[in-house]
Amino acid sequence: MSALAQQKVTHMTKNLDNGPTAQSGFVPRVTLVTGGTGCIGSAICRALARQGHIVATSYRNEEKAKAWKADMAKEGLTFHTYYCDAADFESAEKMVKAIVADLGPIQILVNNAGITRDTTVRKMSVDQWRDVISNNLDSVFNVTRVVLDGMLDSGFGRIINISSINGQKGQFGQANYAAAKAGMHGFTKALAQEVAKKSVTVNTISPGYIDTDMIQGVPEQIRNGILGNIPVGRFGTPEDVANAVGFLTSAESAFITGANLSVNGGHFMD
Ligand SMILES: NC(=O)c1ccc[n+]([C@@H]2O[C@H](COP(=O)([O-])OP(=O)(O)OC[C@H]3O[C@@H](n4cnc5c(N)ncnc54)[C@H](OP(=O)(O)O)[C@@H]3O)[C@@H](O)[C@H]2O)c1
């Protein structure tokens, strides 16, 4: 057995220590989470690794990725990290080829990478528009495009696109972000129809306001105002989003495709 294959088996066994037993019929799958070193991405990576999947994630900042991997190792979790600028097709293609060569065909893809560049349309520069569209929406096409054939060939696939409540309802100062996130769900619905017969499902998750660094940076008065609009009475946690990903990537979610699952505490009901 090659060193990498041995590492893969050890890794699977290790992550399965926290995951379901063999009797449950659980199948560990090669998983890619883009932007996995971020707030929500970290929770998604943890959840999928604890289920027993083999999880790869992309990074742009090598130092950040090394520190992240070391922190995760302290929790007993092993991840495979690969450089990728998901806004760039060739970079996405290079990453996916490397993952497939190291770990095998990717059967679960979570398109989580995203950025904001907030300002009103009257003040928005062309760069602010393009950056948000390319990092949030082009990235979804780029990574999905190069992962898809492997999923179709293997006869199983789960694609989850992490959108936003603001793609559903719009938000002052976020025309670029709302357009990209709404576009993501259009992509979900079209692709879901193209691949359904091959046991590949495609779904969107639209988180509401999640208690991340971004929310903590909002002035307290505005934060309290947002909180007043959330019927459940709290901000979401990254784990709330990760739990939804855990279900939609499972074998049990096979009959759900083309859906947009709101994870927002009742803040917006479509
Ligand atoms: N936080 C919220 O309340 C909230 C609500 C609704 C939806 N969302 C969505 O949830 C997702 C995660 O958000 P978060 O709050 O966890 O943000 P975050 O902590 O800033 O994480 C975003 C991650 O995406 C990566 N990324 C961005 N552009 C990329 C690119 N072109 N190629 C590769 N990686 C890229 C970042 O990498 P670097 O660190 O290298 O830049 C980072 O790891 C985003 O899609 C966001 O729009 C968040």
Considering the entire predicted model, what is its pTM? 0.94
Count CB-CB contacts under 10 A for residue 227: 16
Query: Distance, CA 38 to ligand 1 centroid (Å)?
Result: 6
pLDDT tens digit sequence for 74-116: 999 999 999 999 999 999 999 999 999 999 999 999 999 999 9
Residues 6+ apart with CB under 8 A from 35: 41, 57, 58, 86, 112, 113, 114
For the ranges 11-25, 78-92, 188-202, 245-259, which has the lowest average pLDDT? 11-25
- Domain map (residue ranges) of the chain: 28-263
Range 28-263 classified under CATH 3.20.20.150: no
* First-residue to last-residue Cα distance in the chain: 52
Count CB-CB contacts under 10 A for residue 120: 10
pLDDT tens digit sequence for 212-264: 987 888 889 989 999 999 999 999 999 999 999 999 999 999 999 999 999 99
- Calculate the average pLDDT of the chain: 92
Going from the C-alpha of 221 to that of each of 215, 217, 218, the distances in angstroms are 12, 12, 8
Q: Check pocket membership of 216 for ligand 1, CB cut-off 6 A.
A: no
Q: Check pocket membership of 38 for ligand 1, CB cut-off 6 A.
A: yes
Query: Distance, CA 21 to ligand 1 centroid (Å)?
Result: 32
Going from the C-alpha of 177 to that of each of 119, 124, 172, 173, 261, the distances in angstroms are 10, 12, 10, 9, 18
Buried b (16+ CB within 10 A) or exposed e, 65-104: beebbeebeeeebbbbbbebbbbebebbbebbeebbebbe
